[in-house]
Amino acid sequence: MDIIDILTPTRTLNDLECNSKKRALEATSEWLATVIPAFDATELFTALISREKLGSTGFGDGIALPHCRLATCDQVTGALIKLKNGIDFDAIDRKSVDIMFILLVPENATNEHLQVLSTLAGKFGEAEFRERLRACNSNEELFQAATR
């Protein structure tokens, strides 16, 4: 699996402005519900925030990988968001998060969910990849940088 397999230009957002983890997840849920009409913003936010209550998805090095399973999701779906400013995400390294990759999976896709998370963790663990994303100034640049 490559990021290009689960990410589209319409699900790539540069410079989202928010000041907390809760607001970032809420704003992202609202945005995704407009881009993917099958998703309900409230249901998505509830699922993402419920997963966060189990433990932060703040991966480290300014990256968060919020993820959840949804009944309304029929295929693995990704969304890449670069925040205008870093926010406290309760990350393991205590660093502010400025890049989020949201992963949404069908309820019964347990193995695929774990495999995709592992792939994403590997990719976002690369300093060069993170720097390339942080240098972007538009949605299109961000999409291109993530998928090359």
The number of residues making up the chain comes to 148
Q: State yes or no: is 113 an active-site residue.
A: no
- Residue 133 neighbours by CB under 8 Å, 6+ apart: 80, 82, 99, 142, 145, 146
Question: 69 - beta bridge partners?
Answer: 105
The number of helix segments (H) and strand segments (E) in the chain equals 5, 6
Out of 21, 67, 82, 113, which one is annotated catalytic? Answer: 67
Active site residues per annotation: 67
